[in-house]
Amino acid sequence: MIIATWNVNSVKQRTESLAAWLAARQPDVVCLQETKCVDEAFPREAIEALGYNVAVHGQKTFNGVAILSKFPFDEVTAGLPGDDGDAQARFLEAVLSTPQGALRVASIYLPNGNPPDTDKYPYKLKWMDRLLQYSNERLKLEEPLVLAGDYNVIPAPDDARNPAAWVGDALFLPQTRARFRGFLHGGLTDAVRAVSDSAELYTFWDYQAGAWQKNHGIRIDHLLLSPQAADRLVAAGIDKHVRAWEKPSDHVPVWAELALAA
DNA sequence: ATGGCCAATATGATTGGA
């Protein structure tokens, strides 16, 4: 079965591309970020018509996450634990019933954090601390778990075409990368890095300054797998070609194939 | 990556993104 993540940068602007990509990639589960609409405005019918169950956690204008699944939802929970005052729609967790048992999935839109000298950066770091807490709790369950989304983290210099340009950026600061390593130290596996050491594996190219044409990309969208999911990892990849489509998102889909269901 | 964009908003200017 294939599980994917894609920051669509407005699901209303991307509905056509999303349908075309779903038809081609045939994922079983998809985590979406930056849907940028309230739940009532989500193109639910168009997605359901393609054979997916739909769970959404949106808000007006900004943020917004969703999970699409060919498997039924057993549980759906919105919001990352650890701060009841956090109203930003950045986290949605679901438990899915697959033919091989339960699969727990979270769609994650981690805060950008720029500029770092504002309160946006402490919010990002605190959010990462909350996510680590959540991850460590869930890992105790020893079940297949996939935390997929836009982490807004460049894990290592090889994950940027020009790492020098990102020094001092909230996506690449040492404190940011240290927290990302914390997820891995806790027992999660970065699916794409588990199957390839290649440089130039990017998931985001800015709309500005000809970044796509010059391949000035960064790798910031990740699927992190629990040991029980990583043991079943068959393949992983980045659908880079989608960035060349008409009216693209600035992010492309990232996917992993798990030997979990026929 | 910093000459160049894109999306949402009571919209024709501002904010956020990364």
Decide: CB of A247 under 7 A of nucleic strand B.
Answer: yes
For this structure, is A109 an active site residue? yes
Q: By CB neighbour count within 10 A (0-12 exposed, 13-18 middle, 19+ buried), where does A177 fall?
A: middle
What type of residue sits at position A99?
Answer: P
Domains of chain A and any CATH numbers: 2-258 (3.60.10.10)
Å between A36 CA and B14 C1'? 17
Model confidence at A261, pLDDT cuts 50, 70, 90, reads low
Q: Is the CB of A118 under 7 A from strand B?
A: no
Span CA (A173) to C1' (B16), Å: 20
Catalytic member of A28, A150, A169, A190: A150
Instruction: Find which nucleotide's C1' atom is closest to A37's CA.
Output: B8
pLDDT in tens, A142-178: 999 999 999 999 999 999 999 999 999 999 999 999 9
A151 is catalytic: no
The whole-model pTM stands at 0.97
Query: Going by C-beta distance under 8 Å and a sequence separation of 6 or more, which residues neighbour residue A247?
Result: A13, A14, A17
Tell me the pLDDT tens digit for each residue of A185-199: 999 999 999 999 999
* A205-215 residue pLDDT tens: 999 999 999 99
